[in-house]
Structure 1
Amino acid sequence: MRALPVLLCLIASPAFSEVDYDPAQFAVEQGVFCDVPSVGEMEAPGTVAGKIELFETIPEFQWQTNVVPAVPDVSFGIKTESLDGAAYPGVVLTLTHPPFTETGTTRQAYVTSLGGTGTSINAYTFDVPEEQVPGLWTFRAEQNGEVLYEARFRVVTAAEAPEIAAMCEGIPLS
């Protein structure tokens, strides 16, 4: 999992969105991008890796979609911006997904902050084959028992999202 608060403007698009949130509280963007290098990490004992990686700047979503091919180096997630500048510390970000092939893991969680003066991103990157499991993947952000957002992604085979799979794996489309 990767997260980093940075200032960006966001646009919510109901045409592809599978996100539940309060539009009076947050601007939300959901999408997919090819993995970018991280610049550091933060301890996250509730995750399989035990850490989340940090970006220098917020990556742009190359595809605004909730359909994600299960291939190496594909990243997907949610960008949020607090509309009134309110900070949300102590947010529990939970990712649920189909069982990983080797460990059977279905849930990962860590504590982060959202809002304040910038934009936040919570994203996941397929780093190892065990993680590349098709099915419903859900990001859920909660603070003090209140759901701030819940976003659903449909992870599919490379053949079901060939353009994204080819671009992120560096494979020509034809």
Structure 2
Amino acid sequence: MLLTSVNDIDSRFEGSKTSGGTINLEKYRGKMGTGLTDAYQLLMQIEGTPCLKVKTGKLELVTLTKHFGGSAKDLTYMGVEISAEDMQKLGMAVEPKMYNGQLMIKCTKPGVAHITVKAVGGGNRPGTGSVMGGIEITKTFAVIARETGAENGGWL
């Protein structure tokens, strides 16, 4: 779990950094390990909650195929739930929603929050004891919203 709870580091080694001298960042590619450990992602893995990473300040479309399977685009999405407190924490003016099998979300503040996506597989409404329909699927995700702060797009 620890090894799969890392953020890429090699892509951040671009150009140079001047701080008391000039450092060529590109010479460090492939020499800094597998990445930066993200403690929150690790805790969410222990809990069994998948993490969705989004950038702040832009509308993101997040594909959920690896979480709902190859037929994620064919599910009937019933909605996305997020608390008002979590929306405020992430600076969201509009609730996230599903669009063409992808989660549409815009966060303006960095932070973390939980969202729940509800869908129906095998029909356009949930079945009951007396009504034919599909099977309701509910999945909770941790949204991690981050901005890039350094001039090279991240670390250093």
TM-score, normalised with respect to structure 1: 0.34
Q: Pick the structure with greater CA Rg.
A: 2
1 or 2, which has the higher strand percentage? 1
Which structure dedicates a bigger proportion of its chain to helix? 2
TM-score normalised to structure 2 length:
0.37
* Structure having greater relative contact order (Cα 8 Å, sep ≥ 6): 1
